[in-house]
Structure 1
Amino acid sequence: MQLANYGNFPQTIPLIIEDEVFLYPFMITPLFLNKEENIKAVENAIEFNRLVMVTVSKPSKEGKREKDSFYDVGVVGNVMRKISLPDGKVKVLFQGVAKAKIIDFVPTQNIFATVDIIADEISNEESIKSLIAILLDNIKKLSKLNNKFPVDLIKAIEENEDAIRVADLISSVLKLKKDEAYRIFANTNLEQRILDIIEVVKKEIESYKIQKEITQKVNSKIEKTHKDYFLKEQIKAIQKELGADNQKDEEIKSYKKRLKTKKCFMGKEAYKETKKQIDKLSRMNPDSPDASLLQTYVEQVLDIPFGDYADDKISVSSVEKQLNKDHYSLEKAKERIAEYFAVKQLLEQRKIEDLKSKGTVLCFVGPPGVGKTSLANSISQALKRPLVRVALGGMEDVNELRGHRRTYVGAMPGRLIKGLIDAKKMNPVIVLDEIDKLGSNHRGDPASVMLEILDPEQNHEFRDLYLNFPVDLSQVIFVSTANDIRRIPAPLRDRMEFIELNSYTPNEKYHIAKDYLIPQELQKHGLDKNEISLSKATIELIISKYTREAGVRNLRRVFSKLFRKVVKMILQNPELTKVTIGTKDLKEYLDNPIFEIEPADKIDVVGVSNGLAWTSVGGDILKIEAIKLKGKGSLNVTGNLGDVMKESSRISYSVVKHLIDKNILKIDENLIPKSVKEEEEKTKIDSSEVYKRYDIHLHIPEGATPKDGPSAGITMALTLASVLSDRKIKSDVAMTGELTLLGKVLPIGGLKEKLIAAYKAKIKKALVPRKNFERDLEEIPDEVKSAMEIKAVDTIEDVLKEALI
C-alpha cells in the first residue's frame, strides 16, 4: 500500500486512541473498539477511504480523550475490515503503514487529528549493521532462556535486511511498558533506538538468569514442603532478588525510626525491651504466627505517646469558669475542685515537684444522675486535656487493668495503657467510673491493682504485664466516681479525696431544667425555643409528680418524651406555630403522675409516725405504724426489713419498756387489764403490765420495698411509745436518728436528702441528731431551712417530748 495514494502529509485524518496495544508499522493487528469516538473514527475512515491514525493513551489518562491524555507518536494505516460484535463492540483489522506524529488535535473535533509522517535517520549504515548483529546475538541468548522468540521468528529477523523493520519487530515481541515503548519508538535516531533495544534485551536476559537460579534454589525444598508453600517461597525469593518487595524492611526501618524519636522519653528498660522485640521481628519469617503477634506488640508500644503532653498550664480561673458554665448549684463540690487545682497551679508555677500532689485522686460520690461524670468532662475541657473513661462496674479480671501476658492467646494491654494510646497524650484526665462496683473472683482482685494505679509512690512506675516495662502514670489526673463509699475497700479509700454530690432540691432542679436540660433537648429534637412554651408551674409539676430521683437524668428523659410528642404534633399539623403546655395538659402528653411524696397527715393519730429515709434516688418519707393486741408481750415486725433494721426495732422496744419501767413514759392505768383477783385485793398495779399483756405489731410500708439501716431507731421507738401509752403523735413532725440501748440518739447519713423529702411532704418540724445538726446543717438548702423547724435531739426523751401530744 502506497502513502502517495492518500495525498500529501501533513493531513487531518481520523484518530483512534487505544488503551492497551502499542502498534508498529507493517503490523496487521485486530483491534476491539468500544468507545464511541474510536468507532466514529473508523466509520469515517471507511466511508471516505481515509487513512487512520492509531496511538496509545498514557497510563494515568486511560479512558480520556484530551490533548495531553495520549502519546503524540503512533502508526498511520488503513482499516482492512470492520465487524460489529453482539456486545456493542467493533472488531477492526488494522494494517500499519508508517510512523507518524500528531501535530495538532482539536478537542471539539476529537475524532480527527492533524498528523505528519516521520522517518528514522540512518547516519552510518556500517554502524547500524554491527548493532543489528549484536542485537540478534542477544536475541538468540534470550530465546534459550525464554520461548518468547521461537526459532522461525529469529530466522525471519535474520533474513530481513531492513534495520527499521527489525527494530519494530523486536520491540513488538518484547511487550514493553507504554512509557518505555513510546520512548524507544518515538526516537528517530535509528542507531540510538537499536542501542536502547539492546539494553532492554540484556536486562531481560539477566532477569531470566536470576529467575532460573532462584527456581533451582527453591526446587530443593519441594520434597519437604507443600506445593503452595513452594510457590509462595518462589515469589518471595524473586521479589527479594529483584528488590521489588521491601515492605518488611521498610516496616522494620519505620519501627526503628519511631523508636529512636521516643528513646529519650520512654526510659532505659522500655527502650531496651522494645528494641529487642523489633530486632527479633526483623529475623522472623513474616508468615510465622508469632511474627503477627510480635508486630502487634511493637505497634502497640510505639503508639504509646511517650513524651507527648498537653502543654496548656493549669488555670484555676478556667476550671471555675467551665464548672459554673456546665453545672448549676453544687457549690461545695465546685469549690473543692477549684481548691484541688489551685494547689496544682501553685506547685506548677513555683516548679515544685510534689509526687503526692500528682497522685491525689478526686472521687465524686453521690446517687445516679447528679453530675459526677459530667464534672469530669468539665475538668477535661477546662484543662484542654483529652478525657478517657474506664468503666469499672462489674470488672472482675485484674488483667483488664494490668494487661495480659503475651504468652496468652489474644493478649492485649490493660485499659489504662489503651487509654493513653487513645488519648495520644501522657497526661489525660482518666475517669474511673463506678469504682465502688469492682468485683473479685478467682482471676484476682481489681481493687488491689487500683492501689498501685492510684498510689503516687507506685504509679510513676506502673508495670503493664503486656508491655513488660514500667510506664509513668504520675502525670495523669485521675477522677473516680462512686455511688456508695462503704463498698470501696478501706486501703483504696485512703488514696482518694472524696467530694460528695447530694440530691438536688426542687428549686435547683427547676433551674437546671430551665437553663440546661430544656435548651439541650430542644436542640436535639430540632425545635426552636419559640415553638414551645412551658410555664414554671408546668416544669415544677413535672419535677414533683413525674420524676423521683436525686439527680436529673430521668427528668431529661421526661422532657425528651414530651418534645417527641410535640415534634409529631408539628409535623401532623403544619399550621401550628407554637405549642403551649400547661399543668392541665401534662396528662395528655405524659399520662398520669407516676411519683408523689404524700403530704403529711393533718390528723394526729396514735401509733403512726413519720420517719425520714435515704434511698438511691433521694430522700423519702417513711411511715411507721404499730398496733397493740391482747397477748403476752411479743413484738412482731413486718415490712421487708433487713437485719440491721430488725435489730433497731428490738432495741427500740427494749428502750420503750425501760422508759415505762422507770416511769419516764407515763401509762394510763385504764390501759392496764385487771384480773378479778386484782380487783378484789385492791393491790397497786405495775405499769409494766401494759407491755406484758399486749403483743405489738410494728409495720413499715411499703411491704415489697426492701429497707435496712439504723436511722429509723428513734421513729420506731416513738411509734411503740405512742401505741403503748395511747398518746397521739404530731402528724407534722418527722425524724431520723439511730437509737442506742441507753436511749441516746446517734448521727446518721444522708441528712440533706431526708430533709428535702420532708420539705416536699410539707413537714413543719424535723428532729435530727445533735451531731448532724452541728455538722451538716450548713449543707441544707436555705429554702428547706426556711420552710421548717429543724431541731436537734440528744436522747429518746427529747424525741418523745417534741413529738407526743
Structure 2
Amino acid sequence: MQLSNYGEFPADIPVIAEDELFLYPFMISPLFLSDEENISAATKAIEENSLVIVCTTKPSHSGKRDFESLYDAGVIGSIMRKVALPDGRVKVLFQGLARAKSMYEVSANPLIAHVSVMEPTEVHSLKVDAILEVLREKVRTLSGVSNYFPPDLLKTIEENHDHNRIIDLICSTVKLKKEQAYNLFVELDTEKRFLDLIDYLIDEIEANKLQKEIRSKVHTHIEKVNKEYFLKEQLKQIQKELGTDNSRDEEIEEYRKKLEAKKEKMTKDAYKEINKQLERYSRMHPDSSDSSMTQTYLEWVLDIPFGEISKKSLHIDNVEAQLDKDHFSLEKPKKRIVEYFAVKELLELRGINNKKSAGAILCFSGPPGVGKTSLANSIATALKRPLIRIALGGLEDVNELRGHRRTYVGAMPGRITQGLIDAKKMNPVIVLDEIDKVSRSQRGDPTAALLEILDPEQNNEFRDYYLNFDLDLSNVIFIATANDVGRIPAPLRDRMEFISVSSYTPQEKFEIASRYLLPQEIKKHGLKKSELNISKPALKELIHSYTREAGVRNLRRRLADLSRKVAKEILQHSDVKKVSVTLKNLKEFFDKSVFEIEKTDKVAVVGVVNGLAWTAVGGDVLKIESIRIKGKGGMQLTGSLGEVMKESARIAMSVVKTLIDTKKLKISTDNLPMTFKEKEDGIVIDPSEVYKRYDLHIHVPDGATPKDGPSAGIAMVSVISSILSSKKIRSEVAMTGEVSLSGDVLPIGGLKEKLIAAHKAGMTKVLIPAKNYERDLEDIPKEVQDSIEIIGVTRVEEVLKQVLI
C-alpha cells in the first residue's frame, strides 16, 4: 500500500493520540482506543476512506486530548480493521506508511490536523556506510548483553540497505524515552540520526553490561547461599546419623553453664541429680523418647531460682500501714497479722534462724467476699515479695502438689515448684486458696502432701517427685484461705494459725463501698470522679436491698453494673456530663432488689419464732413455724432439715413435755379437744394431756435450702411451747442457742454473723447462751451492740419468760 494512493499532501486528516509509544512507518500495530476523541477520529477515517496520523502524547500532558498535548510529529497510516470490544473499547489495526508533521489544528471534535509528509535526506556515501557498520556493530554488542533483538530482527538489520528503515527498526526495539524517540523521529538528516542513535546505543550497552554484572553477582551469591544451606543440611543429617549434632552440643554446653552458675546456691543432692541427668542427656540419641523427656526436665530444674531471695527487710510498720490502706475495719484480723510478723521481725533483728517460726502458715477463714485473698495481696505488697496463688478447690490428684514421677507421659513438677519458678524467688508469698475444698480420691490424698508442705519441721526438705531432690520451703510465707474450717482435716488444722475474717455490718459495707469499691470501679471503667455521684441514702439502700452476702463481692459487682450504665449514658448523650444516683432513681439502674433479711413486722403471733442461723454467706434470720393438729402426740418436721437439727427438735419436744409435766409451763384447758362422751360426763382434762391430744407440724421456710446444726434448740423450745400453750411470741425477739435434754442453754458458733443478721432485720432483743455472752461479746461491732439488747440465758425457763406473752 502506497501513500500516493490517498491523494496529495499536505492534507487535512484525523488525528489519533497514543499514550505509550512512538509508531514508525512500515509497522502494523493494534491500537486499543477508549477515548471518544480517538474513536471518533478512527470512525471518520474509515467512513471517508482516508488516512489518519498517530501522534504520541507529551510526557507532561494532563490527560486532556487536544492539539497542544501532542507531539507535532507522527506516523501517517491507514486503518486496516476496526473491532468493538465488550468492555466498550475499540480495537483497530493500524499500518504505518510515512513520517509526517502536523502543521496546525483544523477541527477539535474529532481532532483533525493539517499534515505534511516529512521527507528525510537519503545520502549514500562511504562515510554513511561506515557509520552504518558501526551502528550494526553496536546493535550486535547490545544484543549480546540484553534480550532486545531477536535473531530474525538482527538478520533484517544486517541485510537491509534502507538507512531510515534500519533506524526505525532499532528505535522501535530499544527502550527510548519519549523525548529521545521524538528527537530521533523528527530528525531529517540521516547521518545525524545514525550518530545520535549510536550515542544512545553506547549508553544502553554500558547500562546493560552493569546490570548483567550485578545480576551475575547476585546470582552467584544466591547460588553460594543455596550451596551452603544444602551442604549444612547434608552435614546435619550426617551428624544426626552419627549422633554428633553440633547444635545439640551447643545446647548441652548452655545447660552446663547454667548449672555451674547455680552450683554454689543449690544443695549437693540437687547438683548431683541435675548433673547426672545432664550427662545422660549428652549420651542419648537425639531422636529417642527419653531425650526429649530429659531435656524437658533440665529446662524445668534450671529455671528454679536456687538461692534467689527478696532482700527487703521486714518492718511491721510497713505491714500495718499497707493493711490499713487496703482494708477498712477488720481490726482483729489486722492485729493478728501484725503480731504474726512482729515475731518474724524480732527473730531477724536478733539473728535467730528459727525455721519453725519462719515456716508457720496463716489461714484466713470466713465467708466469700470478706477480703481473705486481698489480705494476702496486701501482705505480699508490704513485704515486696512476689505473690503466687494456687487454687486448691476440687484438687484430687496428690501429684498436682508433689509433682509427677518422670516415668509418666506428660510429667510435670508440682504446683509449689512451678510457683517458685514463676516467682523467680525462693521466698514468695504463696496463697493456698480454698484449702477446705481439697478432696481425696483414688489418686491419693492431697491433704497428706500439704502436711509436709506446711509443717515447719519438714518443709525445709520438701521432696518433689519430678525433681527427685529436696527443696527448702522454709523461707516461703504460706497463707491459706478457707470458708469452713471444720472441713479441714485435723492434722492439717494443727499446722495453721487461724485468723477469722467474719461478716461486715451495713455501716462497714457503706464505708468500704464509698472509700474503696466505688473509686476503684470508677477508675476501672474509664470514668472521672465528677461524672458519677451516688448519694448516701442510695448507697445504703443498694447495700441493704440489692446484695445478699457477708462480704462485699456482690456489692462490687453492683457498683460495676452502675459504672457501665453511666459510661453508656455519657457516650450516647453528649449533653450528659454527670450522673447522680439517688433513692428516687435507684430502680432505673437496677432491675430488682434482693431482700436479704425480712424486717420484723412487730406483731406477736402464736407458733412463729425468730431463730438465728449461720450460712456460708453470713448470718440469717429463720422464721420457724408450727401448727397443732388434733392427733395423738406425733411430730412432723419439714424444711430440708439435717439430722442434727431434727434431733434438736425432738430434744426440744421432750424439754417442753417436762416443763408441762412439772407445771413450769402453764397450759389452758379451755380449747383442748374432747370426745363427746368426755363432754357429757363433764370430765376435767389434765393440762399435761395437751401434748397427747395434738400432732405438731414444725416447718422452717425456704424449704429448698438445706439447714442443719444444733443452734436452733431454744427457738424450737419456744415455738413448741407457744403452739401448745396458745401463747404469743414477741416478734421483735430473736434467739440462738443449743438446748440440752435437761433444759440448759449451750454455747454456739457464728455469733457475730447471727447478731448482724438480727440487726439488719430490725430486732430489738436477742437471746444468746450466757457463755457466748461472756466470751464473744467483745467481737460484736459496737453499732450492733448499741441497737440491740443482748441477753445471756442459761436455762429454757429464762427464754420462755422473755419471749412468751
Category of TM-score, reference length = shorter chain = 0.7 to 0.9
Alignment partner, residue 526 of structure 1: 526
Correspondence 1:300 to 2:300: yes
Contact 1:629–1:696 (8 Å) recurs in 2: yes
SS in 2 for 1:343: helix
Structure 2 CA distance for aligned equivalents of residues 737 and 781 of structure 1: 20
Aligned to 1:473: 473
Q: Give, in whole Å, the separation in 1 of the partners of 2:736 and 2:375.
A: 31
Pairwise CA distance, 1:616? 1.4
Contact 1:600–1:762 (CA<8 Å) still a contact in 2? yes
The 5 Å alignment of 1:244-323 reads: 246-323=246-323
CA distance in 1, matches of 2:146, 2:384: 68
Q: How do 1:132-151 residues align onto structure 2 when only pairs under 5 Å count?
A: none
> What residue number does 1:739 align with?
739
1:381–1:51 distance in 2 versus 1, CA, 3 Å: farther
Q: Is the counterpart of residue 647 in structure 1 residue 651 in structure 2?
A: no
Scaled by the length of structure 2, the TM-score of the pair is 0.73
Matching residue of 1:184: none
Q: CA deviation digits over 1:777-803, x for unaligned, max 9?
A: 111111110001000011111100111
1:552 correspondence with 2:552: yes
Amino acid across the alignment from 1:320: E
Is the counterpart of residue 616 in structure 1 residue 616 in structure 2? yes
Q: Map Cα deviations across residues 423-464 of structure 1 (whole Å, 9 max, x no partner).
A: 000000000000000011110010111001101111111110
Q: Provide the secondary structure at the position in 2 that maps to 1:568.
A: helix
SS where residue 480 of structure 2 aligns? strand
Deviations 1:301-353 (A, max 9, x none): 01000010000011100001111111111000000000000000000111111
> Hey, what does 2:690 align to over in structure 1?
690
CA contact (8 A) 2:396 2:446 kept: yes
Describe the shift of the 1:304–1:726 C-alpha distance in structure 2 as closer, same or farther (beyond 3 A): same
Closer, same or farther: CA 26–785 of 1 in aligned 2, 3 Å: same
2:726 pairs with 1:726: yes
Give the Cα–Cα distance (whole angstroms) in 2 for the partners of residues 573 and 644 of structure 1. 59
SS state of the match for residue 453, structure 2? helix
Q: Describe how 1:568-717 pairs up with structure 2 within 5 A.
A: 568-675=568-675, 685-717=685-717
Aligned 8 A contact 1:30 1:94 in 2: no
Deviation at 1:78, TM superposition (A): 5.8
Partner Cα separation in structure 1 for residue 290 and residue 198 of structure 2: 69
Report matched runs for 1:280-429 at 5 Å: 280-429=280-429
Distance 1:590 1:173 in 2: 72
DSSP-derived class of the 2:517 partner: helix
User: Distance between the aligned counterparts of 2:366 and 2:696, measured in 1?
Assistant: 38
Residue 645 of structure 1: how far off its partner (Å): 1.1
Partner Cα distance (2:517, 2:218) in 1: 77
**Partner of 2:589: helix, strand, or coil?**
helix
Take 2:196 and 2:533, find their aligned partners in 1: how far apart are those partners? 79
Amino acid at match of 1:442: Q
Change over 3 Å in CA distance of 1:279–1:566 after alignment to 2: same
What is the Cα deviation at residue 504 of structure 1? 0.4
Q: Helix, strand or coil for the counterpart of 1:410? A: coil
SS at match of 2:478: strand
> Given the superposition, is the C-alpha separation of residues 44 and 258 from structure 1 closer, same or farther in structure 2, using an over 3 Å criterion?
farther
Amino acid paired to 1:402: R
Give 3-state SS (helix, strand or coil) of 1:629's partner: strand
SS at match of 1:702: coil
**CA distance 1:47–1:397, change in 2 (3 Å):** farther
The amino acid of 1:553's aligned partner reads: R
Q: For 1:716-756, what per-residue CA distance to the aligned partner results, in whole angstroms no more than 9, with x for missing partners?
A: 11000011111111111000011111111111111111111
| 1:612–1:620 CA contact under 8 A, matched in 2 | yes
Question: Any idea what SS the aligned residue of 1:584 has?
Answer: coil
SS at match of 2:585: helix
The 3 A distance-change label for structure 1 pair 670 and 233 is same
| Superposition pairs of residues 205-244 of structure 1, within 5 angstroms | 233-234=237-238, 236=240
Relative distance call for 1:48 and 1:687 in structure 2 (3 A) is farther
Cα 1:568/1:177, change in 2 over 3 Å: closer
Say if 1:50 and 1:567 are closer, same or farther in 2 by CA, change over 3 A.
Answer: farther
2-structure distance, mates of 1:524, 1:586: 22
Distance 1:467 1:328 in 2: 43
Q: Distance in 2 between matches of 1:397 and 1:366?
A: 26
Gap regions ≥5 residues in structure 2: 1-140, 149-174, 182-194
1:486 alignment partner in structure 2: 486
Distance apart, 1:669 and its partner CA: 2.7
Displacement of 1:618 after TM fit? 1.3
Shift of the 256–716 alpha-carbon distance from structure 1 to 2, 3 Å rule, reads same
Matched letter for residue 254 of structure 2: S
SS of alignment partner, residue 626 of structure 2: strand
Unaligned runs of 5+ in 1: 1-24, 33-38, 53-76, 83-91, 100-170, 181-203, 215-227
Return closer, same or farther for 1:269/1:238 CA change in 2, 3 Å cut-off.
Answer: closer
What's the secondary structure of 1:364's corresponding residue? strand
Moved more, 264-273 or 545-554: 264-273
Residue 94 and residue 789 in structure 1: after superposition, are their counterparts in 2 closer, same or farther (change >3 A)? closer
Distance 1:177 1:725, change over 3 A: closer
Q: Which is further off, 370-379 or 249-258?
A: 249-258
1:431 is aligned to 2:435: no
1:204-261 deviations in Å (ceiling 9; x for gaps): 9xx9xxx9xx9xxxxxxxxxxxxx9x99633657997xxxx73222221121111112
* Residue 283 of structure 1, CA deviation: 1.5
Q: Take 1:412 and 1:506, find their aligned partners in 2: how far apart are those partners? A: 47
Offset, 1:403: 0.4
SS of match in other structure, 1:655:
helix
Answer whether contact 2:142 2:204 (CA < 8 A) is retained. Answer: no
Deviation digits for residues 73-104 of structure 1 (CA, Å, limit 9, x no counterpart): xxxx964499xxxxxxxxx465989x9xxxxx
Measure how far apart 1:287 and its partner are.
2.5
Query: Does the aligned pair in 2 maintain the 1:517–1:556 contact within 8 Å?
Result: yes
| Cα offset, 1:360, TM superposition | 0.8
For 1:776, give the aligned amino acid: D
Give the 3 Å change call, closer, same or farther, for CA 740–752 of structure 1 in structure 2: same
Number of residue pairs matched? 624
Q: Distance in 1 between matches of 2:142 and 2:467?
A: 69
In 1: Cα distance, 2:241 partner to 2:442 partner: 50
Once superposed, what is the RMSD of the aligned Cα atoms?
A: 3.3
What is the deviation of 1:398? Answer: 0.4
Deviation at 1:681, TM superposition (A): 6.6
Q: Comparing 288-297 with 357-366, which one deviates more in the overlay?
A: 288-297
Aligned 8 A contact 2:630 2:673 in 1: no
What's 2:152 paired with? none
Q: Deviations over 1:665-691 (max 9, x none)?
A: 111232434456656776664222101
Distance 2:742 2:295 in 1: 71
Higher deviation after alignment, 291-300 or 431-440: 291-300
Q: TM-score, normalised by structure 1?
A: 0.73
Contact 2:652 2:716 in 1 (8 A): yes
Q: Do the aligned residues in 2 keep the contact of 1:79 with 1:95 (CA within 8 Å)?
A: no
Q: Deviation digits for residues 639-666 of structure 1, max 9, x if unmatched?
A: 1211111111111111101110111111
- Distance of 2:603 and 2:219 partners within structure 1: 111
Say which SS state the counterpart of residue 633 (structure 1) adopts. coil
Q: CA deviation at 1:769?
A: 0.7
- Once residues 551 and 256 of structure 2 are traced to their aligned partners in structure 1, the CA distance between those partners, rounded to angstroms, is 52
Amino acid of the structure 1 residue aligned with 2:270: A
- Does the 8 A contact of 2:610 with 2:622 survive in 1? yes
| Equivalent pair of 2:243/2:285 in contact (CA under 8 Å) | no
Q: Note the 1:18-57 alignment, pairs <5 A.
A: none
Matched, 1:804 2:774: no
Asked if 2 retains the 8 angstrom alpha-carbon contact of 1:364 and 1:372, the reply is: yes
Structure 1 counterpart of 2:753: 753
